[in-house]
Amino acid sequence: MVNEKFKDFEDAIQYHTALSNSKVEVIVTRNGKDYKKSSISIMTPLEVLSVIEIAGSYC
């Protein structure tokens, strides 16, 4: 079953889609609590923007 770890079906679809793509390193979501059992790193949109900002300062 697709959503064995998830209460929300859409979260399960997004997670399993990310798992099937080896290039995905992180899932960006405002609902991190929905991905507690994720084996993929989870970040909020603000965390991603911070990482981009920091990376940009090193260029």
Tokens 């920091």 -> residue: 54
Per-residue pLDDT tens over the stretch 2-31: 656 788 889 999 999 999 999 999 999 999
Cβ 5 vs Cβ 39: under 8 Å:
no
What pTM did the predictor assign?
Answer: 0.77
CA Rg, the chain, in Å? 13
SS3 51: helix
Kindly list the distances between the CA atom of residue 45 and the CA atoms of 3, 5, 6, 11, 20, in Å, as whole numbers in the listed order: 24, 23, 21, 16, 22
* pLDDT at position 3: 59
User: Which secondary-structure segment (H or E) carries 10?
Assistant: helix 9-19
